[in-house]
Amino acid sequence: MMITIGGGSSMDTGKGIGIIINNPEFADVRSLEGVAPTKKRTVFTIAVPTTGGTGAESTINYVVTDVERKRKFVCVDPNDIPDIAVVDPDMMSSMPRGLTASTGMDALTHAIEGYTTAAAWELSDCLDLEAIKLIGKNLRKAVANDPDGREGMALAQYVTAMAYSNVGLGIAHSMAHTLGAVYDTPHGVACAMMLPIVMEFNAEATGTKFKDIAEALGVDTTGMDQAAYRKAAVDAVRQLSIDVGIPTKLEKLKEKDLPFLCESAAADACAPGNPKHATLEDFEKMFRKLM
Ligand SMILES: NC(=O)c1ccc[n+]([C@@H]2O[C@H](COP(=O)([O-])OP(=O)(O)OC[C@H]3O[C@@H](n4cnc5c(N)ncnc54)[C@H](O)[C@@H]3O)[C@@H](O)[C@H]2O)c1
Ligand SMILES: [Fe+2]
């Protein structure tokens, strides 16, 4: 039996270890990238998250950083899902403000990308919309270390993980993965910085979904036309991110790195789920907004 206690990094490390213990033919973790054809389940795992963001305690995937190749890759494998998840907000109460904010924005990115991803459907939509509502109500309070806010965020990150684990994400995650690998940008910070930029890019391919997102975040959309409610959804996300202290620019991002970052984001496992295809030029334009 294995008990994984920690944030997404610890739980993901446990997932990789458990899979390799029971499937030793995949001893090089790099051979597990993408949909891995393992035959046996991981060892019996109890996962205890201590951050309010990744939902890795219930998802189908784990993320590994290949330091040599400067890339983060995603392994997707139903055999890695922990047997028991213990989601207790008390385990998250020691998070400092910055970590609470960034992991909470990771959860919001899961919920919004999961709500608008190509494979989203009625059931995942219920979970993602509820998670967006919970995050809108609770993230600011959690950052202020309010116990109700912590509980709301513990629930939200778990609820949306049940959805995105089944339907996938989008290019805010693709771009966040490469920023994490190249500059060591914390995952939640990278997601939070990319999310409003990617929402603006995707808006035209999302039907009326941004109206639901705006309303879930507390915006009164009465009388708004499509352009107005789409802008309102992006503005609400941007405001929440600013309120919890996430920066909007990434000083480390250098011109010379752009070609690698764009190639890497385009090749990421989350990219095909995006509601709108992004070319290398599109990725470059979006990365430039962080400079
Ligand atoms: N498997 C998945 O489904 C999934 C989903 C999203 C992200 N991820 C991955 O998870 C990783 C990010 O995980 P994360 O955002 O949870 O952060 P993390 O696990 O990387 O932890 C960040 C830091 O916070 C510390 N920390 C953790 N809990 C704490 C607490 N309660 N109090 C004080 N400090 C604490 C850790 O020791 C670490 O230094 C990334 O690699 C990301 O790609 C995985
Ligand atoms: Fe994430």
Q: State residue 3's pLDDT score.
A: 98
Going from the Cα of 57 to the center of ligand 1, the distance in angstroms, rounded, reads 11
* Dist. CA 16–CA 114, nearest whole Å: 24
Instruction: List, by residue range, all CATH 3.40.50.1970 domains of the chain.
Output: 2-87
pTM: 0.96
> Is residue 165 a contact partner of residue 238, using CB atoms and an 8 Å limit?
no
Mean pLDDT of the chain: 97
130 alpha carbon, distance to own chain's centre: 16
Residues with CB under 6 A from ligand 1: 6-10, 12, 50-51, 53-56, 59, 61-63, 92, 94-95, 99, 103, 106, 187-188
What lies within 8 Å, CB to CB, of 231 at 6+ separation is none
The token pair at 259 is 């070609």
The tens place of each residue's pLDDT in the chain, 291 residues long, gives 999 999 999 999 999 999 999 999 999 999 999 998 999 999 999 999 999 999 999 999 999 999 999 999 999 999 999 999 999 999 999 999 999 999 999 999 999 999 999 999 999 999 999 999 999 999 999 999 999 999 999 999 999 999 999 999 999 999 999 999 999 999 999 999 999 999 999 999 999 999 999 999 999 999 999 999 999 999 999 999 999 999 999 999 999 999 999 999 999 999 999 999 999 999 999 999 999
Ligand 1 pocket test, candidate residues 17, 51, 58, 143, most atoms within 8 A of CB: 51
Please tell me the residue having the least CA distance from ligand 1 atom 9.
8
Alpha-carbon distance of 260 to 26, in angstroms, equals: 28
Q: At what angle do helices 258-266 and 171-183 cross, to 10 degrees?
A: 130
Question: Residue 62 forms beta bridges with which residues?
Answer: 75
CA of 7 to the centre of ligand 1 (A): 3
The alpha-carbon radius of gyration of the chain (Å, integer) is 18
Distances (CA, A) of 91 to 44, 97, 211, 260: 21, 15, 34, 38
Contact 197, 286 (CB under 8 A): yes
Residues of the chain with CATH 1.20.1090.10: 90-288
| Amino acid symbol at 26 | F
Encode pLDDT of 240-290 as tens digits: 999 999 999 999 999 999 999 999 999 999 999 999 999 999 999 999 999
CATH class of 90-288: mainly alpha
- The rounded distance, in Å, linking the Cα atoms of 208 and 160 is 20
Under CATH, what is the fold of the domain 2-87? Answer: Rossmann fold (3.40.50)
Cα–Cα dist 106/111, whole Å: 9
What is the distance in A from the centroid of ligand 2 to the CA of 147? 23
Tokens of 71: 């890339």
Instruction: Return d(Cα 164, Cα 102) in angstroms, integer.
Output: 18
